[in-house]
């Protein structure tokens, strides 16, 4: 009898301890790191089967983490894709679908592209849309980003504790949870020609050449440059991983590694083929949960923001179109499709839409008289692009290689991704796949309506709506009220965010409760697409 009592008592204590530990763990927000490679497809990484070059740091991360095989960008170019990442919304819903709208290096209203009469502007996004890191800061996170702030709209001061090349979690308060973004431009499209004469870490003769490219010295050299840039990327990522391990943070941090869209080459970047939208994605979870496994779920950039919030124990706002894939608020509904858009690239317009399942890809073109190979001046600097133009003009490309460069394109394209991963055989006109074509056509049309796709409107029409009289709308000044609890502040719009700081501070804090009456402060309201309200300056009496 006494033995039974002791056993029961032991079990009760054990259960209580386990429950307590679970509660403590659940209340301890995880540290989260994003490692972002610009302009890269999965094809060139050893984690995805390519043996051309060793990338030891990323390979080690893959051993400790989960590899995703159906991770995609909604737009195959950086600024629109980044707007999806930071908001959990489709760029075509936000109005950030064109590349680019807001040019950070230009003044408000200046023209980013001299040949196009379009100013630098921030679209007025739907009500309630915010940069998701604002919610992390409210929960006490230290949020750091660098160096890219290219979201296709002007960033809000509520988003980051710091945003610079020197960003690091080590700048936070001791014990403070953090979310840190490291963005790597060493593998960007521009590096193909800027590093064209640098040392190569692979022999061009040894690189695989995809069938949609001709096999010659120019093509092989540019491919070898990209592999070499991946080596440089891996070295830089290794420094961050080493810092995490040195600080004793690696084991229990959540680390994302992903590409910001597909590869840097022609028919990759700016294309709705998988070479343009499929990205590498690794996630290392705390204590290396599910290490070394492969996950084929459909996951898009719109899912990253709600997923990070869910992992941090924050319920994602209902306005977000993405799904939380993990964490406390994980969505019970899995995505069957991902959706992709293409509109203006620099000074050239061409609207396309696509829907992708694990098996099929459907692409709709709204102007068949435009080539897939748009004359984007930036891309024309690449030796490979010039070589493709030259060979097409000479007629020396084969049918598959020439297809992308034709002066016209099909209105509809349908590809079997399982049997034709390079998307070389358009099945849209096959009678036996008529039902499949009609199904995907219907799925895409419904999505266009449901998400209020703004691509059907001329950009100038949207600008005139968002910028009455040629200027961004401005938030009115804050209202101030003295209460028992302190100084209360109220914005003119309910979905605006109030930020404040003391006069000598450089970082804006997020206002969430009345401020002390005995401190001086400055405050303002901000909202994506609006000019900030005038700064309110308060001094104690």
71: CB partners within 8 A, 6+ apart: 258, 278, 279, 280, 281, 299, 300
Q: What is the arrangement of strands in the sheet containing 338-345, beginning at the earlier edge strand? A: 338-345, 348-356, 360-365, 412-416
- What's phi and psi for 285, nearest 5 deg? -95, 165
Residue 364, H or E segment:
strand 360-365
Q: Tokens 């401005």 appear where?
A: 474
**Rg (the chain; Cα; Å):** 25
C-alpha 192/C-alpha 8 separation (Å) is: 68
Q: Answer for the pair 442, 413: CB distance below 8 angstroms, yes or no.
A: no
The token duo for 164 is 């610079």
Q: Tokens 């983490």 appear where?
A: 65
Residue 186, helix vs strand vs coil = coil
Buried b / exposed e over 93-112, threshold 16 CB at 10 Å, is bbbbbbbbbbbbeeeeeeeb
C-alpha 121/C-alpha 416 separation (Å) is: 39
Query: Length of the chain, please?
Result: 541
C-alpha closest to that of 248 among 300, 172, 170: 170
C-alpha 477/C-alpha 439 separation (Å) is: 51
C-alpha 292/C-alpha 519 separation (Å) is: 53
Candidate list 71, 72, 77, 78, residue with the active-site label: 78
C-alpha closest to that of 33 among 159, 219, 169, 213: 169
Q: Tokens 């040629």 appear where?
A: 470
Q: Answer for the pair 501, 521: CB distance below 8 angstroms, yes or no.
A: yes
Q: Write the DSSP string, 121-152.
A: ----PPTT---THHHHHHTT-EEEEES---SS
Tell me: cis bond preceding 434? Omega within 30 of 0 counts.
no
The yes-or-no answer on residue 78 being catalytic is: yes
Q: Answer for the pair 375, 393: CB distance below 8 angstroms, yes or no.
A: no
- What's phi and psi for 447, nearest 5 deg? -60, -40
E strand residue ranges, 371-496? 412-416, 479-483, 486-490
Query: What is the C-alpha end-to-end distance of the chain, expressed in Å?
Result: 74
HSE-CB at 179 with a 13 A cutoff on CA atoms is: 23
C-alpha 103/C-alpha 89 separation (Å) is: 20
Active site residues: 78
């Amino acid at each position: 009898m006494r033995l039974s009592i002791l056993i029961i008592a032991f079990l009760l204590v054990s259960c209580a301890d386990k429950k307590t530990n679970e509660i403590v763990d659940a209340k301890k927000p995880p540290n989260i790191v994003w490692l972002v490679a610009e302009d890269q497809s999965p094809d060139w990484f050893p984690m995805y089967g390519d043996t051309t070059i060793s990338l030891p740091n990323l390979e080690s991360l893959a051993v400790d983490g989960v590899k995703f095989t159906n991770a995609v960008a909604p737009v195959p170019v950086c600024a629109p894709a980044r707007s999806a990442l930071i908001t959990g919304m489709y760029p075509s819903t936000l109005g950030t679908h064109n590349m680019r709208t807001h040019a950070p290096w230009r003044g408000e209203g200046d023209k980013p592209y001299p040949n196009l009469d379009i100013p630098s502007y921030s679209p007025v996004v739907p009500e309630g849309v915010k940069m998701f890191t604002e919610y992390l800061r409210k929960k006490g996170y230290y949020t750091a980003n660098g160096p890219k702030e290219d979201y296709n709209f002007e960033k809000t001061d509520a988003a980051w504790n710091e945003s610079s090349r020197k960003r690091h979690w080590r700048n936070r308060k001791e014990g403070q949870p953090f979310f840190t973004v490291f963005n790597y431009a060493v593998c960007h499209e521009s590096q193909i020609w800027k590093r064209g004469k640098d040392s190569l870490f692979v022999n061009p003769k040894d690189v695989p050449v995809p069938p949609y490219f001709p096999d010659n010295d120019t093509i092989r050299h540019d491919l070898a440059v990209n592999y070499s840039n991946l080596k440089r990327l891996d070295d830089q990522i290794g420094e961050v991983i080493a810092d995490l391990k040195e600080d004793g943070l690696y084991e229990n941090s959540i680390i994302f590694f992903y590409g910001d869209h597909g590869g840097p080459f022609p028919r990759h970047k700016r294309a709705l083929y998988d070479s343009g939208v499929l990205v590498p994605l690794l996630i290392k979870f705390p204590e290396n949960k599910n290490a070394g496994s492969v996950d084929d779920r459909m996951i898009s950039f719109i899912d990253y923001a709600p997923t990070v919030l869910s992992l941090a124990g924050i319920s994602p706002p209902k306005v977000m179109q993405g799904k939380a894939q993990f964490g406390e608020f994980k969505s019970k509904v899995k995505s069957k499709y991902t959706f992709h858009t293409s509109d203006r690239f620099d000074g050239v317009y061409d609207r396309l839409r696509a829907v992708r399942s694990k098996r099929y890809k459907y692409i709709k073109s709204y102007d068949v008289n435009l080539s897939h190979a748009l004359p984007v001046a930036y891309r024309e600097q690449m030796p490979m692009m010039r070589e493709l133009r030259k060979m097409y003009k000479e007629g020396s490309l084969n049918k598959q290689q020439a297809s992308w460069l034709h002066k016209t394109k099909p209105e509809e394209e349908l590809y079997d991704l399982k049997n034709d991963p390079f998307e070389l055989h358009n099945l849209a006109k096959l009678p036996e796949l008529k039902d499949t074509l009609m199904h995907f056509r219907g799925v895409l049309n419904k999505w266009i309506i449901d998400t209020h796709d703004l691509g059907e409107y001329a950009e100038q029409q949207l600008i005139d709506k968002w910028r009455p009289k040629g200027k961004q709308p401005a938030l009115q000044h804050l209202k101030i009220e003295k209460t028992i609890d302190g100084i209360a502040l109220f914005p003119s719009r309910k979905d605006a965010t109030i930020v404040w700081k003391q006069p000598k501070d450089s970082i804006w804090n997020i206002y969430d409760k009345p401020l002390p009456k005995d401190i001086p402060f400055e405050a303002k309201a901000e909202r994506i697409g609006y000019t900030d309200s005038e700064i309110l300056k308060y001094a104690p009496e």
